[in-house]
Structure 1
Amino acid sequence: MSNVETKPTELRCGAAVDGRHPAETARVDVLTPRDVPLGGPRAMTVRRTLPQRARTLIGAWCFADHYGPDDVSLTGGMDVAPHPHTGLQTVSWLFTGEIEHRDSMGNHAYVRPGELNLMTGGYGIAHSEVSTPNTTLLHGVQLWVALPEEHRDTGRDFQHYAPEPVLFEGAEIRVFLGSLAGRVSPVRTFTPLLGAEIVLRPRATLTLAVDSGFEHGLLVDRGEVRLADTPVGRAELGYVPPGLEELTLTNESDGIARTVLLGGTPFEEEIVMWWNFVGRSHEDIAKARDDWQNSSARFGAVEGYPGARLPAPALPNAVITPRRNPPRH
């Protein structure tokens, strides 16, 4: 998915400060989302929890949009014209509905519930995303992962994976990236990452062993969920710093609770993120924008989309300034 804001915020995201948070404190910071309309007057609205002033990254996760359930008969659904990406991977995960994906590698694929589509932008890629005609409710998350300096100009790539569920008493887990609950995703990433959908039955509690070197974020899609001792509401993201060896999730409602757990080692590089580009400097971003506007071969062409590609917004009138995660204590 593109960040189609007409005046996207410029971000320079700093490395996290060294240190570990003792496991026994289990501190959880709750990040609230902001609503972002994607497109025109009938736009689908997404709830964005990353990036924001309180936190710009969780591991290498640098962007998190949560959307739906969206009645496409009212909003028109998703129709994102061909647009570029650099320096990142896009992670698409649906709860309901279906999205048609086309990219400049020639891939024509579909995003369906419980199936991961991961696209690597690297030096440059373009793609389009359109909800299919048989979709009535569109509901899911769109996530981005920043690539480390060593790999940010890597070649384009596309991976699809449908993880088998791991069943526990009171819970079901689908691990789409990294490892959790004895399952390992085969999907390649460039930094240590975790991504998993966790569904909790009514009033269920689940304790999971996690990598103590990871920081984690729990995005709540539905239900009343408590992460450790902290309630995390619908569309909120509960952040836990490194140091914990276990995470405990409790569904405090009489209905099903659904969450997405993200994790990764703290990303120690400074990045600049603007519109659909991740770079290391203002100049990186300006060059990527110029290349897209000038139809450079850097991004290739998306075949089969019935319309024009998405133009880039104007760059800000100032050099992008640093913006950092808060220090860990």
Structure 2
Amino acid sequence: MATLNKSVPLSAYTQFSRAEWAKLSQSTTEILSALEREKLGGIDETISADEVNDIYLPLSQLLYMHMTHSVNLHENVSNFLQKKTKKVPFVIGVAGSVSVGKSTTARLIQALASRWPNSPKVDLITTDGFLYPNAVLEERGLMKRKGFPESYDIGRLIRFLYELKSGYAYIEAPMYSHLTYDILEDTVQKIIEPDVVIVEGINVLQVNKKDRRIPQVFVSDFFDYSIYVDAEEEDIRSWYIERFKLLRNTAFQQSESFFHRYRHLSDTQAYDIAKDIWTTINAINLEKNIRPTRHRADLILKKGAGHRVEAVHLKKM
């Protein structure tokens, strides 16, 4: 079966340059304050007002269009069937590599979607919470494959999404600590009657390749819209190394940090270790499991230097 990768033209998509996409914005006023943008940014990623107005505001407006279409379709079908049913949440998937900035993208979408005219309740879920606990990964010899498909409890994630799309009023999602690098025991995220749910993670567009003879349910089957955050591997690797060096001087200094042993590394040592982790783990996962799912997304944000989105690819309808 042929798969799409970085060398295959994205012919199924309409490409917009940054300037072309920015022209779609329907507002000239600042939507998010400097303080809000600072809180939404990552440790190695600042968000400019231009990035919000040029890229994320048109994206938010497009998502709002899809969401309202979904609401209207539900009402029309309910009227046709003469059976009133509760509208289930509109679910947005956000995928992409480690360090590409998908978490920042998801937080920005959440902040902007919360400002839609209908003032929806918007929840953000990260699939990190559905990783197996470190004890399980250790037992299965998977600690060095953390982030690969087999390191996730996909069954639990699918059950969560089933409940979400079944209209459950209350659902619990497991939570993950990037400080301890493990699942938070006895701590859950409470999801109570959301209108919109954003599901962010490197694995959300992946499919199970083990046995294609039997019908399977995939995480993306529950999405109403999906986004892939893309960049050249050289840029992502650079961002990963820089983030590792920043964390060495911040989170790694805390005694409870899983990476506390790296707190005294020199710049050269930190660079070498981060590059080795990228090469032996993250680059392989990107090439084999993450990038091949790019063509499954409805929209692709292509980043360049400084996490600046340079182009947007929108799947043709």
TM range (shorter): under 0.3
Structure 2-normalised TM-score?
0.25
Structure 1-normalised TM-score?
0.25
Looking at secondary structure, tell me which structure has more strand per residue: 1
Looking at secondary structure, tell me which structure has more helix per residue: 2
